[in-house]
Amino acid sequence: MLISHAHLDHYGLLRYINPAIPVYLSRGTRKILELSVLFKLTPDISATLYEFNMYNPFNIGGFRIMPFLMDHSAFDAAAFEISGGGRTVIYTGDFRGHGRKSACLDRFIDKARKEADVLLTEGTMLGRLDEEVITEQGLEELLVEKMRSSEGPVLFQASAQNIDRLVSFYRASVRSDKIFVVDLYTANVLYELRQLGNNRLPYPSMSFPNIKVFYPYRLTKKVFDDIGEEYARRFSPFQISKAELREEQSKIVMAVRPSMKKDIDLAGLKNGLFIYSLWSGYRENDYQRDFEKTLEKQGFTLDSLHTSGHASVADIRRVILGLSPKQIVPIHTMSPEMLSEFSEKVVIGEDGVSFDV
């Protein structure tokens, strides 16, 4: 089993895999998966895990697998070039060309085998042609404008595992002379990924003095009762209290989620800006709506600023043209037929129907 990255739609069924079947994944993917299990976000996994390194080929039986680092909203995401028996299949994984690692897509197109027998390409954005796609750097510039114009606290909601997005909010906070506040879980994600090396991720430490850690009541109790107090105490020197939040709220940029509604109220945060930075579809549930209504009552202006973790149509076409595969199979999309407009080599697969290479 090859796991491309640590999003639930790519590893969420691992608990059903026979433990005798080896599972291969990158170091970053493994760390995020382990943190998700540790913090009870996903069930325990009994699979046997093996790590691979990007751009270093490895063998499984008669197959040669070359992993490529890809630009995606998941840390350490991979594409795979799989060869065996005189055939080659390339799987893009989820990718994009407008994030902070956009150079990875250029390298993939340059180094992956040309004229492969099959290209399996994600096509999420094929069904979202009206969705605006901006670069992560462009999003940072917009955040700076919003932060500098806000006289009150800035709260934002983004995935704690979308490292590119956290970096965008962090960099915008520094440029706006703000205090960047993350909760206990997000702090652990940043800390653990930084310990892997080969990255310059900001994390709560003496090296990043404007990063503070907030301890939400429910999450903190969960950590001390069920997870391990060391995952809370490691950030004690960088803790920011509710009283400090209230006092410094005009300089605060803080990651929040609906479960922190009471903490925000008790901290007295009000009359600021709330920025939603996730796919808009997640915003439709009652839990989220109730959270945002509460923020509105506390004087927050609601705003949205997001860019997709998936490839634009232009980047999908760039991959197809650059790799020139013999067949193209669209996956990870609700509109696979739209890819047929770009190439005569497209084959629309059917779930449950075998496909021969």
> pLDDT tens across 208-245, in order?
999 999 999 999 999 999 999 999 999 999 999 999 99
pLDDT greater than 80 at residue 171: yes
Give the pLDDT score at 133. 86
Give the pLDDT score at 280. 87
Average pLDDT of the residues in 332-352: 90
* Dihedral over alpha carbons 121, 122, 126, 132 (to 10 degrees): -120
Give the pLDDT score at 304. 96
pLDDT tens per residue, range 84-106: 999 999 999 999 999 999 999 99
Give the pLDDT score at 355. 86
The pTM (predicted TM-score) of the whole model is: 0.94
d(CA 220, CA 166): 21
Q: What confidence tier does 356 reach under pLDDT thresholds 50, 70, 90?
A: confident
Tally DSSP H helices, then E strands, for the chain.
12, 14
Average pLDDT of the residues in 50-74: 97
In DSSP terms, 173 is beta-bridged to none
Residue 66: how many CB atoms within 10 A of its CB? Answer: 21
pLDDT tens per residue, range 103-151: 999 999 999 999 999 999 999 989 776 677 899 999 999 999 999 999 9
Cβ atoms of 42 and 36 within 8 Å: the answer is yes
pLDDT tens per residue, range 257-316: 999 999 999 999 999 999 999 988 889 999 999 999 999 999 999 999 999 999 999 999
d(CA 165, CA 253): 13
d(CA 69, CA 156): 28
Q: How many CA atoms within 13 Å lie on the side-chain side of 53?
A: 4
Residue 298: how many CB atoms within 10 A of its CB? Answer: 16
- The mean of the pLDDT values for the chain is 95
Residue 266's H or E segment, with its range, is: helix 261-266
Q: What percent of the chain has pLDDT over 90?
A: 89
Locate tokens 């970053």: which residue?
28
Residue 232 phi/psi, 5° resolution?
-105, -45
Angle at 290 between CA 286 and CA 296, to 5 degrees: 145
Average pLDDT of the residues in 243-256: 97
Give the pLDDT score at 261. 96
Give the pLDDT score at 341. 87
Give the pLDDT score at 349. 83
What does the DSSP assignment read for 59-106?
Answer: EETTEEEEEEEE-SSSTTEEEEEEEETTEEEEE--S--SSSTTTHHHH
Q: What percent of the chain has pLDDT over 70?
A: 99
Give the pLDDT score at 281. 86
Cβ atoms of 41 and 219 within 8 Å: the answer is no
What domains appear along the chain, each with residue ranges and CATH number? 1-52 (no CATH), 63-72+84-132+309-357 (3.60.15.10), 136-304 (3.40.50.10710)
239 SS3 class: strand
